[in-house]
Amino acid sequence: MKAVGVVVEYNPFHNGHHYHIKQSKKKTDADVVVAVMSGHFLQRGEPALVDKWHRARMALLSGVDIVIELPYAFATSKAEQFAKGAIQLLTAMKCETFAFGSEDGNIEPFNNTYSLLHDYRTEYEELIKYFVTKGNSYPKSLFEAYEQLKQKRPQLYIDLSQPNNILGYHYIEAVHKINSSIKPVTIQRIQAGFHDDISLDSTIASATGIRKALFEDGELKRINDYVPNTSFEQLIQWEKSHRQFVHWEAFWPLLRYTISRYLPKDLTQFADVSEGIEFALVKYAKVSNSFTEFMNHIKSKRYTWTRLQRMLTHIFTGVTKEQLHKFDSPTYIRLLGMTGIGQQYLGEKKKEFDLPLISRVAQTKDELLQIDLRTTEIYAQGIQLFSNKKIDGDFQTPPIRI
């Protein structure tokens, strides 16, 4: 059986994701779709809208055959580490191809961009430093350095100001770094951009737009047209059980308490906390009555919203610099769910996998897995704060079977 891999968050699974799954199978002639999915905390440094089991079920009911979890140490890291961990897992699962969505939709510019940045790596890094010294943010400096470097070798290149193109580049880079035989293909995003609001003229919207509409309007029916019926049913179940969906505002009392427990110097042990930001964190946690108010106090040109959210995620979960950067590669494959076809693939291929397949977490004391278990428990405590009902933990939840 041939498998195509996808790297996802499904926050939530929407019609655009459904299109991506169908096109990925069609373009690669794959029998099975393997999704490596972030757990309860995501790459932009925020808690997931609903827990990983509801999101895995959405995927399995809409065309994905196997869902595995991207460990926290990779799921909440910068794009380079996020992509590397995901590609390592898909390679370990013996996927022949992987398919990612992009604004470009053509694989050649991605390969050209990788070759350019690889061949001129030293000069690229010097240009980045130069633009940082000019007062630009780090992401802006990356972009400016890239734009200048493209003049060295006129070819078709990707637009690295676009978020999915950035991730796509890092997927290609990861394939080369780990010397993987997995073949990349890209599917062009249609109708909705990464940050676009929902539109009445389309049934495809970005996950960002869907979440924004959901939180602003407070009405689940507002997003009905933009997600498959199976996803909508899962969201209804969650709302009935927990009354609201997860975002930082819901967790703010716990996050505020967590920050307030530490002196500024103690906060520097946590991943991504650096350059004196710890003083502002303690100062403004005391006076901010909401997460948004707190973020508006501490955001600056140096500290982007996403960078700050990742930092706060690590403080909230108690993950230190040493813990986050200790792992260069995943050490296991954590199975969250499968369809009948997915189970057949596992039966045929699991003896060939490069990493152990874990379906029951009690079977292992893996250090990387222990971080996931702890962060699941912290996510569950946050949910209990506003709903008086915890989600089931990793020990109580077996892999989903569709």
Q: Where are the domains of the chain?
A: 3-105+187-243+328-401, 248-325
Query: Which residue bears the tokens 């869902």?
Result: 67
In the predicted structure, residue 196 carries a pLDDT above the cut 60: no
Distance CA 277, CA 255 (A): 16
At 250, list the tokens: 């819901």
CA angle 329, 330, 332 (to 5 degrees): 145
Alpha helices in 48-120 (DSSP H): 52-60, 72-75, 79-92, 107-119
Judged against a pLDDT cut of 90, whether residue 198 lies above it is answered with no
pLDDT in tens, 58-69: 999 999 999 999
Q: Is the pLDDT of residue 201 over 80?
A: no
Distance between CA atoms of residues 109 and 157, nearest Å: 4
pLDDT band at 140 (very low <50, low <70, confident <90, very high): confident
In 277-373, beta strands by DSSP E: 333-338, 357-358
Annotated binding-site positions for ATP: 7-20, 101, 164, 189-190
User: Is the per-residue pLDDT at 192 higher than 70?
Assistant: no
pLDDT of residue 216: 86
Confidence of residue 275 (pLDDT cuts 50, 70, 90): confident
pLDDT at 189 over 90: no
The torsion angle over the Cα atoms of residues 5, 11, 14 and 17, rounded to 10 degrees, is -20
Q: Kindly tell me if the per-residue pLDDT of 272 is higher than 70.
A: yes
Query: Could you tell me whether strands 183-188 and 357-358 are parallel, antiparallel, or unpaired per DSSP bridges?
Result: unpaired
Instruction: Return the ∠ at Cα 214 (arms to 211 and 220), rounded to 5°.
Output: 130
Instruction: Please answer whether residues 374 and 318 qualify as being in contact, where contact means their C-beta atoms are separated by less than 8 angstroms.
Output: yes
Q: What is the mean pLDDT of residues 42-51?
A: 97
123-135 residue pLDDT tens: 999 999 999 998 8
Percent of the chain scored above 70 by pLDDT? 97
Split at pLDDT 50, 70, 90, the class of 30 is very high
Q: Is residue 331 a contact partner of residue 355, using CB atoms and an 8 Å limit?
A: yes
- Note the CATH number of domain 3-105+187-243+328-401: 3.40.50.620
| pLDDT for the residue numbered 290 | 97
Tokens at residue 258, please?
Answer: 């967590």
Compute the distance between CA of residue 344 and CA of residue 65 in angstroms, rounded to an integer: 10
Buried b (16+ CB within 10 A) or exposed e, 114-152: bebbeebeeebeebbeebbeeebbeebbbbbbbeebbee
C-alpha closest to that of 353 among 335, 333, 367? 333
The residue written with tokens 């250090």 in the block is 367
Instruction: Give this prediction's pTM.
Output: 0.94
pLDDT of residue 331: 97
- What does the pLDDT read at residue 23? 96
Predicted pLDDT of residue 144: 93
Q: What is the reported pLDDT for 105?
A: 86
pLDDT above 90: residue 303: no
Q: In angstroms, how far is the first alpha carbon of the chain from the final one?
A: 19
Binding site residue list: 7-20, 101, 164, 189-190
Q: What is the mean pLDDT of residues 17-41?
A: 97
Q: 19: which residues sit within 8 A by CB, 6+ positions away?
A: 187, 190, 204
Task: Give the three-class secondary structure for 184.
Answer: strand
CA distance 135 to 302: 9
Phi, psi of 49 (to 5 degrees): -55, -45
**Is the torsion defined by CA of 292, 206, 60, 184 positive or negative?**
negative
Is there a contact between 98 and 184 (Cβ–Cβ < 8 Å)?
Answer: yes
Q: What are the φ and ψ backbone dihedral angles of 266, each rounded to 5 degrees?
A: -75, -25
